[in-house]
Amino acid sequence: MSDLSARPAAASGTFTLGGDLPVHRLGFGAMQITGPGVWGEPADRDEALRVLRRSVELGVTFIDTADSYGPYVSEDLIAEALHPYPDDLLIATKGGLTRSGPNEWPPLGRPEYLRQCVEMSLRRLRLERIDLYQLHRIDPTVPLEEQLGVLRDMQGEGKIRHIGLSEVSVDELEASRKIVDIVSVQNLYNLTYRKSQALLDHCERQNIGFIPWFPLATGKLAEPGGILAEAAARHNATPAQLALAWLLHRSPVMLPIPGTSKVAHLEDNLAAGTISLTPEETDQLSALG
């Protein structure tokens, strides 16, 4: 077995966040290792821990989480499973949302709250510095300068290395970059939903990492006889694997983070890192969206 087949995430290539943090482009999103509605403990805690450890074995060097996943559960599990962390593992987390119940995510961008979010994530993850800290949502009731200003302050204190954003427009990204350096954005984007295409194009021009959340949505495109299903069959792969491979081929700044609570599903997802699509196949799949 080749090293890349044993560590398929490594086959996805490398992107360097912020000019100094190289990660394998196919990462792991740690939202689904919590309970239903991203609330509470997972149904199978031992399996969740196995998923995290197996992801690293398979070459993942980029794990994305948030304090709101659980809340707190995902960060706690990551520390339990993986601390002390491998030298090449980047754990990104997010703050700025509160949780009042399952599937409820009200934003709160007051500077004192964001400072508390960072401090508590550092404690839960057992870190002295968070390599990538992302504002989970811009709070429209708080001036942007105040929200990003406190993260910039904590960056100066050595508690944050790089700053990212989530669910923003091109204009919001550029307004933010006037306040602090932004190395990544995380927006909804997949084969069937591409409203953030202009943002992706902008990030590619600026060499800003683009982290597509919900990357596996295929919907009706995966039905038998369609282009996606036929392409998957040619590669002896599943439609979901082709959807991930397409993301990797779509842009060199793309950092997909498929998530799961099952080891078998994790292994299937990460196998997408080894799939090579021709330019024609990539264009065919692009035309489906």
* Residues that are catalytic: 69
Torsion of CA 145, 147, 149, 154, to 10 degrees: -170
Q: How far apart are CA 59 and CA 225, in angstroms?
A: 33
Could you give the strand order of the β-sheet that contains 90-95, starting from the edge strand earlier in sequence? 28-29, 62-64, 90-95, 130-135, 160-166, 182-188, 209-213
Q: How far apart are CA 4 and CA 20, in angstroms?
A: 23
User: Residue 61 corresponds to which tokens in the numbers above?
Assistant: 């060097």
Q: How far apart are CA 164 and CA 147, in angstroms?
A: 12
User: Residue 168 corresponds to which tokens in the numbers above?
Assistant: 């923003």
> Residue 56: which residues within 8 A CB-CB, separation 6 or more?
82, 86, 89
- Kindly report the number of other CB atoms within 10 A of residue 68's CB atom: 26
